[in-house]
Every structure is written in structure tokens, then in C-alpha cells.
Chain A
Amino acid sequence: AQKITQTQPGMFVQEKEAVTLDCTYDTSDPSYGLFWYKQPSSGEMIFLIYQGSYDQQNATEGRYSLNFQKARKSANLVISASQLGDSAMYFCAIGYSTLTFGKGTMLLVSP
């Protein structure tokens, strides 16, 4: 069984600052992927970034980077230079083909 824990129900950040959203996971699978999704108030699930368990380097996609620490089983999302449009729910997920999601973190970006 796989499990994702997101311990921050809500986070506040000022525009243009960086913010880290925490994600820890548990799995017995030797090979897995870690995903982050953004869900704005409109409800769609927007894929942000992916990290494979055997990837040596941390994944980056534009302003998003994934701080992957395999020994600690953590896969924190770092958003640099926050924008007002980043306000949304953020979900961490783990899986090989099907995904297990965390409960999410609500991020609010203030001007």
C-alpha cells in the first residue's frame, strides 16, 4: 500500500516570495513516481511536475521544483516567485500507474 501525507492544511505567502509545500510518502514499491497537481477553485486538476524514484536530479518545471529526498521519503514542492494565480489547492501523489493522493494543501498568495 502507498500513502501520502501533506501536513500543511493551509499556507500563506506574499507575492514574489518562494514557498515550500511539504509531502512525505510511504511505499514498499522499489520503483515509483511522485507527482504534484494544482487544483484552482474552478476544479480542474493541473499537472505540475513529476519525479521518478530513480531520477538522480530533482525535477524542475519553470517556477516549480521538487525537492526530492529519497532517504527521508519526502518530495516537497517549491514554488519560486509566487504569483496571485498560484492560489489553489495543491496535491501530492505517488504511484506507478494508478496514483494515491494526499489530502492537499491550500495555498493563498497575497499581494
Chain B
Amino acid sequence: NAGVMQNPRHLVRRRGQEARLRCSPMKGHSHVYWYRQLPEEGLKFMVYLQKENIIDESGMPKERFSAEFPKEGPSILRIQQVVRGDSAAYFCASSPPLWAEMNTEAFFGQGTRLTVV
């Protein structure tokens, strides 16, 4: 799981600023998943992306949140005009492309801890 790289590890933003979280998947993986963990809770799915394509964004808040996974470069989770309630740990996972079968290996990055002050 060390192969999924997230940065920054910690991010502090003032209310109203923008937060950009980056995720580089494991080598050979072209699917990326973002999850959010609020204090004292489990992870909640936000969005699932392939390169240049959003597969499932059913867990994304309707406003202020967006995600992309460009052809080149890391996946970005962007939060505009952050509020205190956005403070959480944001995790990224990646998986290989060839599983019309199931995802049997869901390795996570170390997470980005966003604090909104």
C-alpha cells in the first residue's frame, strides 16, 4: 500500500480558501477512489475515477467538491470555499484496470488530513 502516494499529508486552510488534494496511484493502476473519514467514523466513499473519466460520484457533495484524474499526472480532489465541516482525513485508493471482476486489492494512501480554521 506504500505505492499509493497522497500529498500533502497535512493541510491547513482558512474558511473560504480552496483545498487541493493529490493522489498518485500505484504503478499500473488506472482507477482511483476517494474516501472521506470524519472523526470517530469509518471511511465514506466519495468518487471513483478512471483516467479522464468519472465513473461514480454518488458520494460527492453536490457543491464545492470536484475531482479529476487527467491523462497525465495525479488525481486531484478539489474543495472550494472550505468550511469547518470539511475538516477530515481524505483517503485515496487505487486499483488495476482489468477487473470486470471484483476489486480484490484496495490499497490506500496514507491520507491527507485537512484542517479548516
Contacts and interface: CB of A to CB of B under 8 A. Distances in A.
Interface of A: 4, 31-33, 35, 37, 43-47, 50, 52, 91, 93, 95-104
Contacts of A43: 89, 110-111, 113
Contacts of B56: 97-98
B44 interface: yes
Interface string B45-58: 10010000001100
Given A33-B102, A98-B48, 17 more contacts: A31-B102, A33-B104, A45-B43, A46-B1, A50-B104, A52-B102, A52-B104, A93-B43, A97-B31, A97-B56, A97-B102, A98-B45, A99-B33, A99-B45, A101-B43, A103-B41, A104-B41
A33 B105 CA distance: 10
A10 to B, nearest CB: 12
B43 A96 contact: no
B15 to A, nearest CB: 24
B107 to A, nearest CB: 6
Contacts of B115: none
Main SS of chain A's interface residues? strand
A70 B45 CA distance: 24
Interface of B: 1, 31, 33, 35, 41-45, 48, 55-56, 59, 89, 91, 93, 95, 99, 102-111, 113
A47 B104 CA distance: 11
A93 to B, nearest CB: 8
Nearest to A98: B45
Chain A CB within 10 A, most for which of B48, B106, B108? B106
A104 B102 CA distance: 23
B76 to A, nearest CB: 19
